[in-house]
Structure 1
Amino acid sequence: MSVFRLFILSLLTCFTVSTLSAQSDKEQLANTQLIGRDTSVVIKDSTQKKNVAKKHIPRIATNRSWLIPGWGQAYNKQYWKIPVVYGILAIPSVAFVYNNNMYKKTKFAYEALFKAQLPQPDSTDYRLIDPQLRGLSISSVQSYRNAFRRDRDYSILWFVLAWGLQVADATVFAHLKEFDVSDDLTMQISPTFNPQTRTPGFGLVMSLKNPDKKPRQVR
């Protein structure tokens, strides 16, 4: 009788241990599945964020070009254009500095010559005139003054146009960055014949990058 009780007790003990072990395995499996799902969700989210981050936005290139010349080209990864941009902007900048300096000199020379020709001449500033302008007549100095002032104003206009040109360049190439130029885009021209009018013609077949749709034919 004692042996039978011992056997029953051992059997219950084994059953309990096996049940607890099975429950522990189920819990570990569930936790593993949850971790796997969480990991997949994290990977999926990170992949989506990475794809969103890689998207090229033309508005960013435009705004950056307005702020700093060449910054939009750097956003488009066209680094070779940056020296070209600054070279184009440097031309009207140098022209502005030169013409502005010459305008100040010719303006001062004109005013000094004008004072020297008054009924009561004032030659105080005459000796301060630039040596290259001292031997010219007052009409010639006036013409040079007007020409340098005009060229100075034109250099400002050319600088603004050059700035706008580099903004337009960054904007256009930012839009073309997302333009599809893969092999799936095709356009073919083939001869056709119209049986109703009995006249030949040409057919234009355009294949867009959409495998679900058939090529569209335009005649």
Structure 2
Amino acid sequence: MFKKLVLLFVVVFCLGATANAQSTIDSAEVKPLPPLTEKELAKIKKKEKDSTWMATHIPQRATRRSAMIPGWGQAYNREYWKIPLVYGVLAIPAITYFYNTSFYNKTKFAYEARFKEQNGDSSDVASIDPELTGLSIGSLQNYRNSFRRDRDYSILWFILAWGLQVVDATVFGHLRHFDVSNNLSMQIHPQLNPHTRTPALTLSFNIKEKSKKPLLIAR
């Protein structure tokens, strides 16, 4: 008899606790989430757009485009601020090329005119540039060789600058796919090497998993 009373008490207690918990859940009011602001909506759209862009981004395209047109690869990588730098670097050897080519032609013509003058033909002397009229034939020859050398160097530097911007577009195109988010962590731990019995440092990289928050379901 006593056992039956105890069992009955336990059953009644469990039913009462279950009913109380159910009533508590039913009576709980789920507060609706506040509407998103325009700034938050813009951030969400930007993240969606960036994720779509990352899925279609191919580093090889950045290489080919920058090889065809300077700055096109940087624009493909969305590094628009580099485009003025690319054209600024390319403009320096381009300007020096035209400058040296112009004076190379002038000094070349003046040298040939003075050389003809020594052989009795002074028909081209009057056409010498006024800046070069007071120079001797030896000085004209030296200036001609110097401007020709600097012109060739300008071509070389232009090619190197073009190749540099191709390398830049290629490297940063690949770096776009590297994970540099806050989910990466680095830890350094001291450790004793059991074989050599000498102290050492251990470097470990960990990827943090995003915490899964329970969803509040309204009934």
TM-score normalized by structure 1? 0.68
**For the residues of structure 2 that align with 1:196 and 1:139, how far apart are their CA atoms?**
76
Is the alpha carbon distance of 1:197 and 1:128 closer, same or farther for their aligned partners in structure 2, counting shifts above 3 Å? closer
CA distance in 1, matches of 2:188, 2:100: 57
| Higher Cα radius of gyration | 1
Secondary structure in structure 1 of the residue aligned to 2:97:
helix
8 Å CA contact 2:190–2:199 kept in 1: the answer is yes
Q: Secondary structure at the match of 2:201?
A: strand
Q: Does 1:158 align with 2:157?
A: yes
Code of the aligned partner of 1:58? P
Q: Percent identity, aligned pairs only?
A: 63
Q: Is the 8 A contact 2:63 2:169 kept in 1?
A: yes
Alignment of 1:74 with 2:93, yes or no, is no
Distance 1:129 1:191, change over 3 A: same
- Looking at structure 2, the residues matched to 122 and 197 of structure 1 have their Cα atoms a distance apart, in angstroms, of 89
Distance 1:190 1:53 in 2: 35
Which residue of the partner structure matches residue 35 of structure 2? none
Q: How does 1:196-207 map to 2 (within 5 A)?
A: 198-207=197-206
The 1-side partners of 2:201 and 2:103 are apart by: 65
- RCO higher in structure (CA 8 A, sep ≥6): 2
How do 1:20-169 and structure 2 match up within 5 A? 51=52, 54-118=55-119, 121-169=120-168
SS of the counterpart of 1:87?
A: helix
Deviation per CA, 1:104-146: give whole Å up to 9, x if none.
000000000001011xx11100010011111111000000000
Equivalence for 1:184: 183
Partner SS state of residue 199, structure 2: strand
| Alignment correspondent of 2:29 | none
Deviation at 1:58, TM superposition (A): 0.4
Q: 1:64 to 1:198 in 2, by over 3 A?
A: closer
Distance 1:103 1:164 in 2: 27
Shift of residue 193 of structure 1?
3.0
Task: Tell me the CA shift for residue 196 of structure 1.
Answer: 6.5
Could you tell me which residue of structure 1 aligns to residue 18 of structure 2? none
- Compare the two structures and name the one with the higher helix fraction: 1
**Deviation of 1:51 (Å):** 4.6
Distance change in 2, residues 1:154/1:203 (3 Å): same
Give the CA deviation at 1:102.
0.3
Aligned residue pairs total 161
